[in-house]
Structure 1
Amino acid sequence: MKIFQTLFISLTFTFFCSSQKNSGIITYGQNLNNFIIDTTSIDDSYLKSVLLKSFTDRKNALSADVDVYKLVFNKSQSRFEPIERLSSDYKNAYQRAITKGIYYIDINSNKIVYSKYSGYLGKQLIINYDKQPYAWKIHNEKKEIKGYICQKAEAIIQNEKGVKSKVIAWFTNEINLNFGPKQYFGLPGLIIELHELESVYYLRSIKFKDVELDTTKKGEEISYDDYLKMVNGVSRF
C-alpha cells in the first residue's frame, strides 16, 4: 500500500511541477558591449566625439545589474516589455539605451506583433509580422551561463533600412520554452543570452507561476510591409 501511495504522490508532484512550467515571468537585464560604429571613417571630430559620448552615457546608464525587461509567458504566447521605473530613474541616457514598445509572440501561429509609439506619425502603431523574419542556424558550440548549459545559435536580421547584421543567441534546452528577448523565439529552449548589435540581453530570473497574460493592444494596426514603406518615405500615410 505504501508503494502505491508513494507512487501516487510522486506522480502528482511531477504533474504539478510540469504544469507550473507552462506559465510565469522572466526578467532580463541589458548591457552594452563595444561601440559598433567605425569612427575611423568619420572626419568630423565633433560628430565623432558626440557619438562616442552618447555611447558612453548609454553604457554607463546600463552598468547596474538590474531587471530591465519582463517577459510574461504561457504555453504558447509571450509579452516582452521594459519594466516601468520611478520617474527619477528615467534618465535620458537610460531611455535611449533600452528597447521601447511591447513585443507579443504567438508560437502556434509563428506570429510577432510589435506595439510602439511612432514619433514620426505622432501615434501608437501595432505592427503585424506575418511570419518570423529570420532563420536560426544552430551550432555545436556550448557554454555554461547562469548555471545552464547553453548552445549557440545565429541568425541574420535586416533592419528597417535594409541593413543586415548578425544576432547570436545562447539557449538552453534545460528550460523547455521557445521564448527570448524582444522578437526572438523559435529555438528548442529558452534564450538565456542574446547579442544584438552592441546590446547584450541576459537572463536574470525566471519564476514559474500562474499568470494572466495581457494581450490588449491599442493603436493603429499596420502590416510590417506597410511599416517599411512608411519609414522609407513611400508610405500611404
Structure 2
Amino acid sequence: MYKLIFTLVLAIASYVGLRAQEFQGIAVYESKTSTADFKTQMEGNKNMTPDIQKMIEERMKKMFEKTFILNFNKSSSIYKEEEKLEASAQASAGMRMMSSMTGGGGTLYKNVKEKSYTVDKEFMGKEFLVKDSLTNLNWKLESETRIIGGYTCYKATAVKAPSTSDFRNFRPKKEESKKEEDKKELGKKEPTKPTEEKKTNFMDAIELPKEITITAWYTPEIPVNQGPESYWGLPGLILEVNDGKTITLCSKVVLNSKDKVEIKASTKGKVISQKDYDETVIKKMKDFREMNQGRGATGGMPMRFGG
C-alpha cells in the first residue's frame, strides 16, 4: 500500500515538474522615453534651424519609442526589441549603435534561477557578449493596486544606480553643476563671450544621476519573477516599470501558447563583463565628444542615425 502511495506521489510530482518546465508565456511591452529635456536643450541652441530641430525630434521619437517581446518560463526569459520592416531595411551601424544605447538592440537572456544574464550588444562596429550577475534590487512591496490588461497588479519601488551605457538615463545638468564646471573651465574668470554662445556641445548640458527611483507594477496572477529589461525579483510578472523618464508598459500577455520558443542565451560576440562594457562605451563616447567639439549645427552632436 505504501509503495503504491509513494509511486503515485512521485508520478504526480514528476508530472507537475514537467508541466512547470513546459510552461511558457509571451508578454509584449511598449517603451516610451520622454524627450522633453532634449527638446528644451535644442530650443536653447540658437545655431539650430527649425527644420533641423524638427528632423531631430522625429528621429529621437523613433529611437525612444520601442516595442519589445518577452518570452518567459518559470526560470528564464529572453527580451528582444520587435523589428520593424522599415528599420531593418535601412539599418546602419550608427542606427544599431543608437538602438543599443537607448534600450534596444540584441537579445537579453535572464536566468532568475542562476541569477545571471547574457546580452549581445553591437557598439562602434564591434560585437560584445555581456555576461554578468543579475542586480538584486531591494524592492519595497506596497499595498496599492491597479488593473493592467485585466490583471490585478501591486506596486513595488526600489532605488538603483543607473547604467552608464544607457543614454536614456541621462538628465539635464543642474545649474549648480553647470556653474562649477564653468568655474573650472574658465579658471574663475569671466567668460569673454556671451553665455548663450559658450555652449557648443549637447553633451555638456546633460549628466548621469547617482541613483534613480524605480516604480514597478507586478501581478501575482502570473507567478513568475520575470519582467522587462533587467527587472526581476518580484512575486509575479512585472507589467509596468517607470524610472521617472522611461515607461515600459505591457500591452499583451499570452500564456501557454501552442507555439513554443526556445529560450536560451546568445553566443555571438566578445565575452565581457557589464563593468568593462560600460567603461568601453564611456571611453568611446568621450572620444566621440572631443572629436565633435565645436560643431554648431546640432550643438556638437551629430544626428545622422541612418541612411
TM-score (norm 2): 0.58
Q: Whole-Å Cα distance in 1 between the matches of residues 64 and 164 of structure 2?
A: 25
The number of residue pairs the alignment matches comes to 215
Change (3 A) 1:56 1:101: same
Q: Whole-Å Cα distance in 1 between the matches of residues 220 and 29 of structure 2?
A: 18
Is 1:112 the counterpart of 2:117? The answer is: yes
Which one has a larger percent strand, Structure 1 or Structure 2? 1
Structure 1, 136-145 or 216-225: larger mean CA deviation? 136-145
Greater RCO, CA 8 A, separation 6+: 2
Change (3 A) 1:220 1:152: same
Counterpart amino acid of residue 200 in structure 1: I
**Alpha-carbon offset, residue 19 of structure 1:** 4.6
Q: Whole-Å Cα distance in 2 between the matches of residues 19 and 75 of structure 1?
A: 7
**Alpha-carbon offset, residue 60 of structure 1:** 6.7
CA contact (8 A) 1:36 1:197 kept: no
> Which residue in 2 is equivalent to 1:138?
141
Q: Whole-Å Cα distance in 2 between the matches of residues 47 and 135 of structure 1?
A: 44
Identity between Structure 1 and Structure 2 (%): 25
Which one has a larger percent helix, Structure 1 or Structure 2? 2
**Alpha-carbon offset, residue 72 of structure 1:** 1.4
> Which residue in 1 is equivalent to 2:128?
125
TM-score (norm 1): 0.72
Q: Whole-Å Cα distance in 1 between the matches of residues 103 and 27 of structure 2?
A: 17
**Alpha-carbon offset, residue 188 of structure 1:** 0.8
Q: Whole-Å Cα distance in 1 between the matches of residues 136 and 39 of structure 2?
A: 27
CA contact (8 A) 2:26 2:69 kept: yes
- Within 5 Å, give how 1:127-206 maps onto structure 2: 127-132=130-135, 134-155=137-158, 156-160=160-164, 163=209, 164-206=211-253
Change (3 A) 1:223 1:86: same
CA contact (8 A) 1:35 1:198 kept: no
- Within 5 Å, give how 1:20-31 maps onto structure 2: 22-31=23-32
Counterpart amino acid of residue 76 in structure 1: S
3-state DSSP of counterpart to 1:158: coil
Structure 1, unaligned runs of 5 or more: 1-10
CA RMSD, 1 decimal = 3.7
Q: Whole-Å Cα distance in 2 between the matches of residues 41 and 34 of structure 1?
A: 11
> Which residue in 1 is equivalent to 2:83?
84
CA contact (8 A) 2:72 2:263 kept: yes
Q: Whole-Å Cα distance in 2 between the matches of residues 88 and 113 of structure 1?
A: 24
Change (3 A) 1:28 1:76: same
**Alpha-carbon offset, residue 153 of structure 1:** 1.7
- Within 5 Å, give how 1:42-53 maps onto structure 2: 43-46=44-47
> Which residue in 2 is equivalent to 1:8?
none
Structure 2, unaligned runs of 5 or more: 1-11, 166-207, 285-307
> Which residue in 2 is equivalent to 1:6?
none
**Alpha-carbon offset, residue 85 of structure 1:** 2.4
Point out the structure with max Rg over C-alpha: 2
Q: Whole-Å Cα distance in 1 between the matches of residues 282 and 84 of structure 2?
A: 33
3-state DSSP of counterpart to 2:267: coil
Deviations 1:85-105 (A, max 9, x none): 213676789x75662222110
Change (3 A) 1:44 1:71: same
